[in-house]
Amino acid sequence: MVARRRAFCFFCAVTLAALALSARIVAQQALPSTEPETQSPRLPSRSERIVNPTRLMVKPAPGASLEEIAAAHARAGGEVVRDLPQIGWQVVAVPYGRHLAVREAYRAEAAIDRADLDRARRLAYVPNDPYWAYHWHLQNITADLAWNTVKGDPRVVVAVMDTGLDTNHPDLSGNAWTNSGEIAGNGIDDDSNGYVDDVHGYDFAYLDGDPNDVYGHGTACAGIVAATQDNSIGVTGVAPLCQVAGIKASNDSGYFYDSANVPAFIYCADMGFKVISMSFFADDVTPAERDAVDYCAQHDVVLVAAAGNSLSVIPYYPGAYENVIAVAATDSANNPTWFTDYGSWVDVAAPGVGIATTTLGNGYTTGFAGTSASTPHVAGLAGLLFAANPSATARDVRAALEDTADATIYAPWGEYTNYGKIDCDAAVDRVRKVTYGSKAARLLFVAPVGGTRAPDPTLAPRDPRNSFRFFGVGFEQPNNVRPHSAKRVLPVFGQSRREVVCARRSLSSPSGGAFGPTVTLGVNGTTVGSFQWDDGPGSTYAPTDVGTYGATVTGDFFDIYRVDGALLTCGASGSSVYCEMPVRKVAERAPTKLTFDFTRAYSNTTAGTETLYVYDWSTWSYPYGSFAVVWSRPITGATMEHVSTSITTHAANYLDDEGTIYCVLSTSGVGSGGQLQADAFRVTAEE
């Protein structure tokens, strides 16, 4: 494959409330408790997160006598320290750290109507930076609440892998990382790391120790991560006490070549940087880059990347790698921006329009935008989390920021990111173990959904080609995942946050026969989804996401993965219907045959031409190469029809190196109000 260029994201278009204590307060100081309120797996609300470990709020039952109330207090182990007769409540002292147990004891008392925890409220911190009035985006992600707990740590370095860094900017110079092992300007590799004069980072595009920012994009991203707070000038970053390293991987025209990206990743990992912020996105998978990303993950680095600005469900990289957090963009109303990419490969969201940050020439802007702007919000939060819990691992940090995110639900897309919009305050509480629990489990898709069940004896038993996999969220241990079919529990030999793996042979009956089961996935006793396996040759897959432009798609993977009468619909924009249908997680990377099956009808139209395209990676990297026409035929109207065709010549050219087939359906000449009604779209890969 020819060398490619990468374009970065454009569109640069109560401190704790005082706890009142009476004269009878116990001698021990009441610090906020970090204990969970219950032992259930749910995530507590914010009001449950910080409570007084020596107090309860108790309301006696109406009609209870003073003697009955006093006896109830004695049995439960509480002591009244303040009466509030106007509203019928009492403040009750309890032994330090016994607030949960005593509350449960009160619940068994007939003379007590209720007993509640003594919850704390927090004021949002307001810095003196004059652009604070424009920092709606930091308040939107509760960074100001998180600052009451932590503002970062200079020992935590966030690498901004971008167009460079203006280390002389007055809002960045104080937080620019300095390599203590290097002597500036002496032309010597003082710390013997292979890089000369890498004092504040390195320029991997032009191979020198000065990550100077000519374009300005990296300086804007760095300001969102860690602009200095409370210096009475400019803006503040999400993690204002963390440091930023300038990792210049882009040339001065804004292109990121693999020959710069790959060594930049390795440098960040080897230098011990905790987070990498990557506000760029591109097309193809580069195996060398993927290995470098995995190298960073193995070295406990959190990687954060822009999802992209194409309003597309087609995966972009590096965001779509499993070891990278892909970030979508939201607006001030918490809706997706008009340009953000979305789908099952996008993990979280953050504000991406009207962002206040630093610019070249010691300046500022209030108009930075794009998933470029969203990404450093998430990277800054990752820096906060490492500062809040120095013993946290990259896995801990990722779980904290993902599992506490607020659901991003937007009609008709539904949940357009896997976990939601980040919540800094909640994530800080989570990484400090004030709260607990994982995201509610959701099943997004299954791969494959059909094919041969007999294991290939030439492959390892756990090879992806001998298995089927559930993909979603909330699958991590200690959650109890339970795939089952016909009352028979299927063995699980792989379980992670996003994936549950079963052997295909487990779909056969105990006597060895196949019975075409419906497979149901349960998590912690709750059914989260099911699918029907269809026998056939090879492996059969369905689109993991469906997207369009200027119209509406209704439905998801489970409406299109097989012929069952459940319909996915896509409206027309003007006189055409356009659908992007990426098929992800194809295990067969060297297929000799790809068969495309489409069962569909069109309403409100009897004319026009339907064409199915599949991207041919041998022509160039996406989107600079060519789509191949799989079929092109006239529309016949409202009758449900089945179309099938196969590619048998160089079939492997139609998969990227992550196992994704990029399918696009384009229908021209449809009538006013025309609509595609798809019952199934399937791709079968045979090796």
- Helix H, strand E, coil C: the string for 416-435 is CCCCEECCHHHHHHHHCCCC
Quickly tell me which residue has 């092109």 as its tokens: 632
The amino acid occupying position 636 is T
32 token code pair = 């906020």
In angstroms, the CA 379 to CA 372 distance is 11
Secondary structure letter of residue 193 according to DSSP? S
The residue annotated as part of the active site, out of 217, 539, 597, 656, is 217
The residue annotated as part of the active site, out of 129, 144, 162, 171, is 162
Is 169 annotated in the active site? Answer: no
126 token code pair = 């307001």
Q: State which H helix or E strand residue 334 sits in.
A: none
The amino acid occupying position 447 is A
DSSP-derived pairing of the beta strands 201-203 and 325-330: unpaired
DSSP-derived pairing of the beta strands 157-162 and 243-248: parallel
Classified as helix, coil or strand, 205 is coil
Contacts of 482 (CB under 8 A, 6+ apart): 489, 521, 522, 523
Secondary structure letter of residue 514 according to DSSP? B
Contacts of 454 (CB under 8 A, 6+ apart): 504, 505
Is 162 annotated in the active site? Answer: yes
In angstroms, the CA 401 to CA 439 distance is 11
In angstroms, the CA 382 to CA 376 distance is 9
139 token code pair = 């308040």
The residue annotated as part of the active site, out of 312, 372, 374, 467, is 372
Contacts of 362 (CB under 8 A, 6+ apart): 168, 169, 170
Q: Which residues of 564-603 are buried (b: 16+ CB within 10 A; e: fewer)?
A: eeebbbbbbeeebbbbbbbbbbbbbeebebbbbbbbbbbe
Let me know how long the chain is: 687
Q: Where are the beta strands (DSSP E) in 556-671?
A: 568-571, 576-583, 593-603, 609-616, 626-634, 641-647, 661-668
- Report helix, strand and coil shares of the chain as percent, to nearest 5: 20, 30, 50
In angstroms, the CA 135 to CA 422 distance is 16
Is 372 annotated in the active site? Answer: yes
422 token code pair = 């980040």
Residues noted as catalytic? 162, 217, 372
